[in-house]
Structure 1
Amino acid sequence: MDLFAGISVSDYPAAVAWYARLFGGPPAFEPNDVESVWKAGEHAYVYVQHRPDHAGHALTTLFVTDLDARLAAIESRGLSPTAVEVYAAGSRKATFTDHDGNEIGFAGPI
């Protein structure tokens, strides 16, 4: 299975800068002047697109094998999770919220 998840944003330049910090670098590619794409996994991509009327409604969670390492890397780039949840099933999730209110979570085993 492949994933190509889109996130609508209202301020495209600010969103590109924020997601570059979240994902640790510039977009993998920019197919046009209102869309930037980051590779989030082997067959997984997350893109932001300037769509102000739809901004702020994304709920995306990416599962990673080493959540602590991922969070440490993101926090070293100046972003902190807005929420951290621990689940009884032995996993946890850290959620980051962009300027529009879109929620991007990273989850993994405890």
Structure 2
Amino acid sequence: MSRGTLGGQRGMAFTRVLAQAAVSDAEAAERWYAALFDASPDARPMDGLLEWHLTDTAGVQVWREPARAGRSCVVLGTDDLDALADRLTRVGAARAAVEAGGGARLLRLSDPDGNLVVVTGA
């Protein structure tokens, strides 16, 4: 299968990815994710939906859907895992401890609903 194509078929490429976390309380989630990303949401496309655009083609959505809240997992990569852990601990968003895992280092976080947010880095 070629990179960026579906099922090996030419002509159809995926061009964007948005990871999504379902939450019960959008305001609490906004505060937590704003602390994680050190920024306010980049977009509010509709009621109950927040978006952080991490690159031109990748981002994270936080979606208010109480029935699914706490059952999501988002995996992110960063170039400075230690600085992120230190900042999150300092601002009280998480007691963050970097750990070894799968050939990389990672930081396991939980948002206010218990969604797992894993950040990897060198």
TM range (shorter): 0.7 to 0.9
Shift of 1:80: 2.1
Whose relative contact order is higher, 1 or 2, with alpha carbons under 8 Å and at least 6 apart?
1
TM-aligned CA distance change 1:81 to 1:96, over 3 Å = farther
**Does 1:19 pair with 2:33?**
yes
Mapped to 2, the partners of 1:103 and 1:78 lie a distance apart of 17
Residue type of the alignment partner of 1:18: W
Which among 94, 105, 108 is matched to residue 118 of structure 2?
Answer: 105
Per mean C-alpha deviation after superposition, the further-off stretch among 76-85 and 37-46 is 76-85
40-49 vs 7-16, greater mean Cα deviation: 40-49
Find the aligned partners of 1:82 and 1:52 in 2 and give their Cα distance. 26
Shift of 1:100: 1.1
Q: 1:80 aligns with which of 83, 94, 109?
A: 94
- TM-score, scaled relative to structure 1: 0.85
Whole-Å separation in 1 of the counterparts to 2:81 and 2:16: 21
Structure showing the higher helix proportion among its residues: 1
Count of residues in correspondence between the two structures: 108
Whole-angstrom distance in 1 between the partners of 2:80 and 2:98: 15
1:86-106 deviations in Å (ceiling 9; x for gaps): 0362x2110110121101111
CA contact (8 A) 2:86 2:96 kept: no
* TM score, norm. by length of structure 2: 0.77
The residue type equivalent to 1:100 in the other structure is: D
CA contact (8 A) 1:37 1:48 kept: yes
Residue 108 of structure 1 aligns with an amino acid whose one-letter code is G
Unaligned 5+ runs, structure 2: 1-14
Assess if the C-alpha contact under 8 Å between 2:20 and 2:74 holds in 1.
no
1:47 is aligned to 61
Question: Alignment RMSD, CA only?
Answer: 1.9
Verify the 8 A CA contact 1:24 1:77 in the aligned structure 2: no
